[in-house]
């Protein structure tokens, strides 16, 4: 989900509205007896739709224990067909093979955070609601407060620039370092105020805190690394003809998906420059995916009017070929 928030977009009581739901289900073409991975269970929107579309089985993964806890009721509704799996989608191949599943018919990924996570002030994702500066989806590891208070200024600036695409990253990092000298920054609203004092609101009206909060969230949860691992894991798990559908919310994520699919959709007698370096110099490379559609699928006006958080979404879909997964050739993670 995008880091951009609007106070009027969602209230704390509302549930997550799945983005591009119809398009994702159409892309996966669920069939009776088919086995699917929903790598980002969240509020269970995709999972429910896949289970309803056919007599299928869904392995639903989420790294956030709260999301899976909320999904238990759904598990009771589809006792033999829905399996809730705690963990990261980057590990989906291991998570499934350890449960006796070595191939699947479809994988869906809906990258980012859910409305429930953003709206819960105690999780610390929101720059509009005061809460502890946390942002950890798994509630373990380094929090956003740890990063903001301990990281050297240059590194902080690089993260804000790279993951937030913030032009004024240096200015923001300098302001954070000055503020933390006074006292540690432990609350979301204090950080948002520090950023707003350093960077003026642009003409597009986007809150200046948006980009830095996005950067910290991506860094704290290693979201881009997870996406790369998730794509490779899907390559290993999908059967020939199986479908991969990935919904992303900003250009950094979409670029990773696009580059991955481009690199996996070329066959050559010599490895392409995108192929893993460990491949033997003369091994032939066979395309493992066939991208479906030249351009990403985006939500229509109706969906955006109904769900403003959908406005930056884009979905890419590809079909697995019969070629051996590249990561399987080199024997492990990409």
Ligand X SMILES: C[S@@+](CC[C@H](N)C(=O)[O-])C[C@H]1O[C@@H](n2cnc3c(N)ncnc32)[C@H](O)[C@@H]1O
Q: Phi and psi dihedrals of 39, rounded to 5?
A: -75, -10
CB of 116 to ligand X, least distance (A): 7
Residue 46 is a binding residue for ligand X (CB under 6 A): yes
Site for ligand X contains 18 (CB under 6 A)? yes
Structural contact between residues 177 and 73, judged by C-beta atoms closer than 8 angstroms: no
Q: Which stretch binds ligand X (CB under 6 A): 109-117, 202-210, 232-240, 323-331?
A: 109-117
Which listed residue (88, 180, 236, 243) binds ligand X by CB under 6 A?
88
- Helices 188-198, 169-182: axis angle to 10 degrees equals 130
Task: Confirm if 191 and 127 have CB atoms less than 8 A apart.
Answer: yes
**What is the spatial distance between Cα 33 and Cα 149, in angstroms, rounded to a whole number?**
51
Please, are residues 322 and 302 in contact by the beta-carbon 8 Å criterion? Answer: no
Q: Nearest approach, Cβ of 110 to ligand X (angstroms)? A: 4
Binding ligand X by CB under 6 A: which of 3, 30, 34, 44? Answer: 44
- Closest to 88 (Cα-Cα) out of 110, 117, 67, 61: 61
Sole binder of ligand X in the list 5, 23, 64, 319 (CB under 6 A): 64
Give the shortest CB-296-to-ligand X separation in angstroms. Answer: 17
- The distance of closest approach from Cβ of residue 81 to ligand X in the complex, given in angstroms and rounded to an integer, is 17
Q: Is the dihedral of CA 46, 52, 53, 58 positive or negative?
A: positive
Residues numbered 212-231 forming contacts with ligand X, rule: CB under 6 A: 226
Q: Is 43 in the site for ligand X (CB under 6 A)?
A: yes
Least Å distance, CB 196 to ligand X, is 26
- Reference 299, options 249, 257, 253; nearest CA is 249
- 310 lies in the site for ligand X, by CB under 6 A: no
Contacts (CB under 6 A) with ligand X, residues 157-196: none
Of 173 and 297, CB closest to ligand X: 297
Residue 293 to residue 265: CA distance in whole angstroms: 13
Answer yes or no whether residue 250 interacts with ligand X by CB under 6 A: no
Contact predicate 70/43, CB 8 Å? yes
- Residue from 36, 59, 89, 219 touching ligand X (CB under 6 A): that is 89
Query: Is residue 299 within the footprint of ligand X (CB under 6 A)?
Result: no
Smallest distance, ligand X to C-beta of residue 13, A: 16
Candidates 28, 35, 113, 275: give the one binding ligand X (CB under 6 A): 113
Q: Least distance (Å) from ligand X to the CB of residue 332?
A: 18
**Of the candidates 198, 193, 190, 88, which has an alpha carbon nearest to the alpha carbon of residue 145?**
190
Compute CA distances 270 → 127, 148, 211, 288, 323, whole Å: 49, 45, 41, 15, 15
The DSSP result for 107-120, as a single string, is: EEEE-S--HHHHH-
Number of residues located near ligand X, criterion CB under 6 A? 24
Pairwise CA distance, residues 149 & 180, whole Å: 6
Nearer to ligand X, 24 or 145 (CB): 24
Contact between residue 307 and residue 17 where contact means Cβ atoms under 8 Å apart: yes
Our finding on whether 263 is near ligand X (CB under 6 A) is no
Residues of this chain that interact with ligand X (CB under 6 A) are 1, 16, 18, 39-40, 42-46, 61-64, 67, 88-90, 110, 112-114, 137, 226
């Amino acid at each position: 989900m995008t880091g951009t928030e609007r106070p009027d977009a969602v209230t704390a009581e509302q549930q997550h509205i799945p983005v591009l739901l119809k398009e994702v289900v159409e892309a996966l073409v669920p069939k009776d007896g088919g086995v699917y991975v929903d790598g980002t269970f969240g509020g269970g929107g995709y999972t429910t739709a896949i289970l309803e579309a056919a007599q299928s089985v869904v392995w639903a993964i989420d790294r956030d224990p709260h999301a899976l806890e909320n999904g238990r009721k759904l598990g009771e509704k589809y006792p033999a067909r829905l399996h809730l799996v705690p963990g990261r989608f980057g590990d989906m191949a291991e998570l499934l093979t350890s449960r006796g599943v070595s191939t699947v018919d479809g994988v869906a990924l809906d990258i980012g955070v859910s409305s429930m996570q953003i709206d819960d002030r105690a999780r610390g994702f929101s720059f509009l609601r005061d809460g502890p500066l946390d942002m950890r989806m798994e509630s373990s590891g380094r929090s956003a407060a740890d990063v903001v208070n301990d990281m050297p200024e240059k590194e902080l600036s690089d993260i804000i620039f790279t993951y937030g695409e913030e032009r004024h990253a240096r200015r923001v990092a300098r302001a954070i370092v000055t503020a933390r000298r006074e006292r540690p920054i432990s609350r979301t609203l204090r950080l948002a105020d520090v950023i707003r004092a350093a960077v003026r609101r642009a003409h597009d009206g986007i809150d200046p805190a948006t980009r830095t909060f996005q950067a910290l969230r991506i860094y704290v949860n290693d979201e881009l690394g997870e996406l790369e691992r998730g794509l490779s894991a899907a390559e290993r798990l999908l059967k020939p003809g199986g479908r991969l559908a990935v919904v992303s919310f900003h250009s950094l994520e979409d670029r990773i998906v696009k580059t991955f699919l481009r690199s996996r959709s070329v066959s050559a007698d010599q490895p392409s420059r995108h192929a893993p370096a460990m491949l033997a110099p003369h091994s032939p490379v066979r395309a493992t995916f066939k991208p479906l559609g030249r351009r990403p699928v985006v939500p229509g006006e109706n969906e955006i009017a109904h769900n403003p958080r959908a406005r930056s979404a884009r979905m890419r879909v590809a079909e697995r070929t019969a070629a051996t997964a590249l990561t399987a050739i080199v024997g492990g993670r990409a």
